[in-house]
């Protein structure tokens, strides 16, 4: 149990709360808008988008749905686990020098470098295997997804736009889950992905405020290290305005009803709240803004979006 807890801490499993709700939005959006369910016959008609072989017309629809739902969840877990473990492996020397991160599992000697890299490889392979059992589109795109989520760890070494790459990685959640159900791209899930890009990159800038001086000393790139705390917060605010605009436009485009707009109000409210408690001269509440506010934003928003899909 101690070893399991160490690996869960290594990958910050609790941070799954950010992207997972948007993956569920993508999944149920695909289910409602992209898939025909023949209730009278009890079949889930996927128009042969799901799976490598033709679906048995007599197979139970809800069993198919449950299997695909589990596969989507596993894809999220394995992709994110690979990304976080690789990030910790690649940044291990920087983490050891930074007082804030020196207690992390690799620099503290709790998990070895070799085991962290092995964990990354196994998680990556399991992700690809899961996509194989979903559909061709997801399987063929799995290397692209891995390139994005693993490649992010290198970006802080050469560009302050690393926050946007992190946002891009998490933004694959809604469109990826939608593809798992429908096997095709559509504008609405892409709008949710855009919302995630701007939302995540914005709050990652807030989190990076803590390491401004350290990043400068190590010649690492970040928006705070590049622009300073005050201007970095303004960039974060601008990105969160774009995120809010994306969820509003998604609501109009998707013709959502009142439940969706309650979710939007909470989501935008949490964006405003986190900027109200973090100041350039006062970073004491960064973790409250990063974890609590954004966790509430994603979970509550997803609950109301999915409820709106089914009720309306």
pLDDT in tens, the chain (312 residues): 788 889 888 988 888 888 999 999 999 999 887 654 433 333 344 443 444 334 454 456 678 788 889 999 999 999 999 999 999 999 999 999 999 999 999 999 999 999 999 999 999 999 999 999 999 999 999 999 999 999 999 999 999 999 999 999 999 999 999 999 888 899 999 999 999 999 999 999 999 999 999 999 999 999 999 999 999 999 999 999 999 999 999 999 999 999 999 999 999 999 999 999 999 999 999 988 888 899 999 999 999 999 999 887
Q: What is the dihedral of CA 283, 166, 13, 181, to 10 degrees?
A: 140
Helices within 91-186 (DSSP H only):
92-97, 113-132, 136-155, 162-182
CA dihedral for 179, 181, 183, 189, sign (positive or negative): negative
Task: Give the span between the Cα atoms of 148 and 151, in whole angstroms.
Answer: 5
Task: Give the span between the Cα atoms of 44 and 34, in whole angstroms.
Answer: 12
In terms of residue numbers, what domain contains 57? 2-311
Find, among 240, 295, 206, the residue nearest to 17 by Cα.
Answer: 295
pLDDT at residue 54, rounded to an integer:
44
The answer to whether 147 touches 100, Cβ cutoff 8 Å, is: no
For the record, the structure tokens of 132 come out as 């194989």
Burial code of 33-48, b = ≥16 C-beta within 10 A, e = fewer?
ebbebeeeeebbebee
Task: Report phi then psi at 283, rounded to 5.
Answer: -105, 15
* Crossing angle of the two packed helices 258-277 and 187-208, in degrees rounded to 10: 20
How many folded domains does the chain comprise?
1
For the record, the structure tokens of 144 come out as 């692209």
> CATH code at 111?
1.10.357.140
pLDDT at residue 60, rounded to an integer:
65
pLDDT at residue 57, rounded to an integer:
47
Task: Give the span between the Cα atoms of 62 and 67, in whole angstroms.
Answer: 9
Task: Give the span between the Cα atoms of 122 and 133, in whole angstroms.
Answer: 17
Find, among 102, 13, 15, the residue nearest to 287 by Cα.
Answer: 15
Task: Report phi then psi at 135, rounded to 5.
Answer: -165, 170
pLDDT at residue 107, rounded to an integer:
95
Number of Cβ atoms within 10 Å of the Cβ of 273: 16
Task: Give the span between the Cα atoms of 251 and 246, in whole angstroms.
Answer: 9
pLDDT at residue 13, rounded to an integer:
82
Element (H, E) at 36: strand 36-38
């Amino acid at each position: 149990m101690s070893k399991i807890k160490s690996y869960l801490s290594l990958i910050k499993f609790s941070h799954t709360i950010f992207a997972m709700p948007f993956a569920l939005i993508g999944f149920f959006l695909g289910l409602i808008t992209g898939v025909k369910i023949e209730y009278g016959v009890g079949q889930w008609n996927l128009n042969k988008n799901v799976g490598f072989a033709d679906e048995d017309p007599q197979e139970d629809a809800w069993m198919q749905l449950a299997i695909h739902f589990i596969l989507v969840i596993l894809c999220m877990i394995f992709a994110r686990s690979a990304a976080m473990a690789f990030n910790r492996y690649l940044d291990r020397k920087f983490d050891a020098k930074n007082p804030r991160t020196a207690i992390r599992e690799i620099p503290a000697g709790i998990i070895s470098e070799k085991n962290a890299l092995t964990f990354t490889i196994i998680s990556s392979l399991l992700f690809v295997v899961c996509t194989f059992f979903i559909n061709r589109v997801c399987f063929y795109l799995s290397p692209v997804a891995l390139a994005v989520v693993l490649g992010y760890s290198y970006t802080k070494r050469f560009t302050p736009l690393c926050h946007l790459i992190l946002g891009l990685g998490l933004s694959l959640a809604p469109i990826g889950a939608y593809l798992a159900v429908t096997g095709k791209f559509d504008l609405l899930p892409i709008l949710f992905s855009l919302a995630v890009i701007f939302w995540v990159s914005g709050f990652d800038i807030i989190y990076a405020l803590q390491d401004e001086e350290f990043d400068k000393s190590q010649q690492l790139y970040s928006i705070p290290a590049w622009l300073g705390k005050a201007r970095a917060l303004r960039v974060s605010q601008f990105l969160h305005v774009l995120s809010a605009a994306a969820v509003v436009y998604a609501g109009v485009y998707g013709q959502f009803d009142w439940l969706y707009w309650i979710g939007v109000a909470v989501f935008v409210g949490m964006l405003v709240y986190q900027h109200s408690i973090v100041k350039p001269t006062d970073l004491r509440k960064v973790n409250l803004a990063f974890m609590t506010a954004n966790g509430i934003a994603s979970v509550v928003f997803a609950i109301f979006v999915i409820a709106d899909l089914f009720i309306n």
